[in-house]
Structure 1
């Protein structure tokens, strides 16, 4: 089962990122095989991209004994400003997600990806445009309110921070500033990638992750 984030209506007063962190613990505790047998995972390497990277940070702080290695990709301890998220929410309420989809995706994917892999880009655009409005707004609210700067020093797992060279949502300098807050964290920039290198450069990202795990004895 794959779960990218939990999104609740902003009006519900629920904090999305903590909820998603608790869900991650549940999945670790209740992972089941195809035969229904419980195979709880005592420890693991956690990889988080974008919002998932903020969730991964929470998991690493709350359960350091279970997170043996951490990869934070296209993420930071604080993403965006209250004003920026408010403007995005206002635009969505006015015209829907589709009305600003291209403006969002220009930060997610490089011009080369949008041109050379037009069909893939169209699929991602369609996925974004069809997201439940209140769910997306709830995620915006969570990102607006999330500030993990005070917790970064508590991350004990060997950490790799990865930035996309052309990321407009979490630019390299923002990811580097996050790496600087985590003791011993490594930082690298993926050339030719934007906000979602796992889509644009999956093989390159896989090599970075495998190398990080191997160097820390988890490969």
Structure 2
């Protein structure tokens, strides 16, 4: 089950108040496959820190997190996030009365969809970034898992550089892009393959109608993995959703355009995700 497979999830407090403070709501941040919390969310953290206490989790085998020991499902990954939040509540890091929001990118966004489906009401609002109710195809993820398990994550670097970033981003932001690609290169190959297996089995397209949490779906205009049409579909099929597009971005909007992404998140969460007429 979740704990033996995932050994828990590694947590990073990117920016926040002292333990037990309730001055700000909490925002739990989820990763994209191949990235680490600090590399992905570091560029946007200063813009969000005035509004939220920021906590981020890393996938198994990514960003220094312990490796997974076998395949896991998206439902199990979501349950591990729930266990992480419960620990933060239990030790007083996040007070019982403090609102908690969730934002995740790609597989982290898919985890957010799973959380809304399996654990309604746990979060006061969900932001699903550069993600979808189904990402790619089961065969595509199975093939990738087999390749990476055999040859390692460096085989993914060139293709990910093309998919992750909008036009000209690598040239104009060499440090940010290099940090993200180095995290991918250093990720544990088997943990990466296990995450691919989770995505191969993930499809909540028929279950979106049961998600009642306020939900914002954000897409990058240049994202070929999860294009804006996926965000629009999400927003249209949950009970309380809306969508937005970050124009310069491809698949990693928080790192590619921190200002635009932060503005969307702050507006959405500070209005409790209330729909606009």
Q: Shared topology, TM-score over 0.5? A: yes
What TM bracket, shorter-length normalisation? 0.7 to 0.9
Quote the residue 1:4 is aligned against: 58
Unaligned runs of 5+ in 2: 1-10, 12-55, 62-67
* Equivalent of residue 28 in structure 1, options 85, 104, 121: 85
Quote the residue 2:164 is aligned against: 108
- Describe the superposition over 1:45-80 as per-residue Cα deviations: whole angstroms up to 9, x where unpaired: 221211111111122222323222111111111000
Matching of residue 204 in structure 1 with residue 260 in structure 2: yes
Q: Distance in 2 between matches of 1:52 and 1:117?
A: 23
Unaligned runs of 5+ in 1: none
CA RMSD of aligned residues (A): 2.3
Contact 2:232 2:242 in 1 (8 A): no
Contact 2:89 2:96 in 1 (8 A): no
| Alpha-carbon distance, 1:90 to partner | 3.8
Contact 2:71 2:197 in 1 (8 A): no
Contact 2:106 2:131 in 1 (8 A): yes
Q: Distance in 1 between matches of 2:59 and 2:78?
A: 9
Contact 2:141 2:197 in 1 (8 A): yes
**Normalised TM-score (structure 1):** 0.86
Quote the residue 2:214 is aligned against: 158
**Normalised TM-score (structure 2):** 0.70
Structure whose residues are more often helix by fraction: 1
| Alpha-carbon distance, 1:132 to partner | 0.5
Give runs of aligned pairs for residues 40-79 of structure 1, distance below 5 A.
41=96, 43-79=99-135
Contact 2:71 2:195 in 1 (8 A): no
| Alpha-carbon distance, 1:181 to partner | 1.5
Give runs of aligned pairs for residues 12-23 of structure 1, distance below 5 A.
12-15=70-73, 17-23=74-80
Distance 1:39 1:67, change over 3 A: closer
Quote the residue 2:235 is aligned against: 179
The 10-residue stretch of structure 1 (69-78 or 179-188) with the greater mean CA deviation from structure 2 = 179-188
| Alpha-carbon distance, 1:93 to partner | 4.1
Give runs of aligned pairs for residues 131-150 of structure 1, distance below 5 A.
131-150=187-206
Contact 1:4 1:52 in 2 (8 A): no
